[in-house]
């Protein structure tokens, strides 16, 4: 696990030296959600109905921004070949990379979500549901996105292909998360939706690192 810790430490140092890695998704998230009311009805009652969906779609698109570069640098500089030759666990590396991506993209979006909820007149009862759904759902986005990033890591311009591969997998997360926020705003129970998100997160933690490892090995064998 020493190599895993060293890789995680290196990734966090690179992120700290390049603030754009986490500022770009965050600014995109803020701008999309903030400009949306300008293009539709600004009635608070209307915005309250769609606020959860708007915030979640914005978070989903912002997460996609930084996925393309998740493994590209490691492929280009030969780090992945060295990792494979070292005999270290590819599962641990894939899980660690997804964790770094979530800390860079998903965690700031989750912490910023109450501000956007206030701007979009989200009902007070839905704040907790929004925060919990983002806290559980954004790690799933990072884990699933890591699979697409691993599949397209060897391509020079795989951003479009990555989006086409990953967006269909994001749909169930979007449905359950936005449904939880919407039902919470109506004063209805939403624990079931959060339970489904929790189950998807558990499955993603168990299986997506295996898929990432297989995809990276396939790229290295070309």
Structure tokens at 189: 């129970």
2: pLDDT strictly greater than 80: no
Total number of domains in the chain? 1
Can you give the residue range of the structural domain that contains 200?
2-220
128: pLDDT strictly greater than 70: yes
How far, in Å, CA of 205 to CA of 87, rounded? 21
Angle at 73 between CA 67 and CA 75, to 5 degrees: 105
How far, in Å, CA of 153 to CA of 57, rounded? 25
pLDDT band at residue 172 under the 50/70/90 scheme: very high
Ranges of beta strands (E only) in the chain are none
pLDDT of residue 93: 83
Of the listed ranges 33-42, 118-127, 171-180, the one predicted with least confidence: 33-42
pLDDT of residue 205: 93
The residue to which tokens 């890695």 are assigned:
21
Q: At what angle do helices 20-39 and 107-119 cross, to 10 degrees?
A: 20
Whether residue 116 contacts residue 182, with contact meaning beta carbons closer than 8 Å, is answered with: no
Average pLDDT over residues 183-201: 93
Average pLDDT over residues 60-70: 84
Average pLDDT over residues 80-94: 78
């Amino acid at each position: 696990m020493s190599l895993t810790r060293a890789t995680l430490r290196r990734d966090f140092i690179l992120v700290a030296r390049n603030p754009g890695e986490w500022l770009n998704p965050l600014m995109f998230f803020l701008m999309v959600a903030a400009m949306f009311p300008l293009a539709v009805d600004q009635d608070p009652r209307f915005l309250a109905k769609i606020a959860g969906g708007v915030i979640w779609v914005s978070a989903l698109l912002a997460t996609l921004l930084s996925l393309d570069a998740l493994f590209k640098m490691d492929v280009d500089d030969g780090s992945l070949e060295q990792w494979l030759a070292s005999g270290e666990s590819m599962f641990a590396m894939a899980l660690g990379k997804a964790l770094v991506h979530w800390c860079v993209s998903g965690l700031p979006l989750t912490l910023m979500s109450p501000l956007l909820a206030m701007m979009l007149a989200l009902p007070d009862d839905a704040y907790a549901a929004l925060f919990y759904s983002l806290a559980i759902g954004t790690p799933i986005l990072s884990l699933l996105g890591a699979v697409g990033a691993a599949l397209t890591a060897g391509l020079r311009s795989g951003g479009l292909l990555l989006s086409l591969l990953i967006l269909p997998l994001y749909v169930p997360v979007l449905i359950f998360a936005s449904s939880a926020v919407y039902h919470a705003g109506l004063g209805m129970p939403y624990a079931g939706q959060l339970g489904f998100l929790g189950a998807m997160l558990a499955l993603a933690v168990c299986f997506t690192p295996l898929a990432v490892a297989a995809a990276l090995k396939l790229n290295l064998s070309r």
